[in-house]
Structures are given as C-alpha cells and as structure tokens.
Amino acid sequence: MGAYEDQDHVLDLGEFASQIWSRACLHLGMPNLLGRTWRERVECWLRRAKRSSCRGQILGILPIVITWRLWWRRCKASMEGSLDSIETVWISIKYWLSWVSLKFKDQNNISKRDEKVLQSLHLPFPNVRMRCDKIVRWEKPKIGWCKLNVDGCSLGNVHQE
C-alpha cells in the first residue's frame, strides 16, 4: 500500500516533524504533545505566548516558523526530489527565528529563564532599557505654606456624602 500525507502527518505526527517539535519543546520547556494534532499543538503554544517576555514572544513566533519550514521541506521534496536533513531544517528554523527576534520589542529586564532560552537557541539578546531611578523625598513646606497631597487616586471616583 502507498503512503498518504495529510496536514497532521507533514506538520506534526510524522517522524521528521515530531523530531523537530521535540527539539523546540526541549529548548523552550514546553510539553511535547505526542499524538495530538498540529492544530492542538499550535493552539497550546499560542495560549502560552506573551509579549512581555522573550520566551513568550518566541512561543508566539516559533510555531509559525516551524510550520513554514516543514511545509517548505515537503514542497521541496515533491518538486525537486531532495530531502533536507533534520539538522538542516533545525539550523534554518534557528536562523529565521534569530532574524525575527531582532525585531522583538525592547525589554525592561530579562529574566534568567529568558536568558537560558536565548542562549540555548543562540539568539541575540534584545535591547534592554535601563531604568532610571529617581529619589523622591518629602520636603517640609516653607513657613506659612501647607502641602496638599494630590495623586489622582480619586479621579472619576468622587463620592458625595
């Protein structure tokens, strides 16, 4: 009997695709959802994606890059008759991820977990905005003056008594 291809086989359940996803899960600390469909895997990754951390941004981008690269490999195999190795595909995924990661939004700080993820994938660190601390202290008013603390807490919340 001949083999068949469907979306899940090419993008998730096939031996090649599952090895690529396993590598990505290993680097990002994600559960490897073996036996699930491609759609369920991508939905899981996108639910965990956040814009507030480097890892969260990678979780949002990586399923797109992996899917695109697996599909490219399939098309190349059917049109040109050549198969890329797992290493070739993984290096390509890391290349495109590093290219996209240059556009990550600047971070106020990078957590240790983000650092480990970026280092394990050999990705550049995003620009870190330095926070300037401003010392604020209360000063006694001049004689004849009084200070009124107005911080806007009651803005739009005025109660009539």
What is the model's pLDDT at position 105? 59
Cβ of 56: how many Cβ atoms within 10 Å?
Answer: 15
Cβ pair 158, 142 in contact under 8 A: no
User: Could you tell me which of 75, 84, 119 has the C-alpha nearest to residue 101?
Assistant: 119
- What integer pLDDT is reported at residue 30 of this predicted model? 80
Q: What is the pLDDT of residue 130?
A: 61
54 CB-contact burial (10 Å; exposed 0-12 / middle 13-18 / buried 19+): buried
Digitized pLDDT (tens) for each residue of the chain, 161 residues in all:
446 677 777 787 788 888 888 888 888 778 787 778 888 888 888 887 776 677 777 778 888 889 999 889 888 888 888 888 889 998 888 888 888 777 665 555 567 777 777 777 777 666 555 667 778 887 888 898 887 766 655 555 556 55
Q: Which residue has the tokens 């008013």?
A: 141
Full-model pTM: 0.65
CA–centroid distance for 159 within its chain? 44
**For position 1, what pLDDT does the model report?**
44
Closest C-alpha to 128, from 100, 108, 111 = 108
Which whole-number Å values give the CA distances from 65 to 93, 101, 137, in the listed order?
6, 12, 50
Domain boundaries, the chain: 7-120
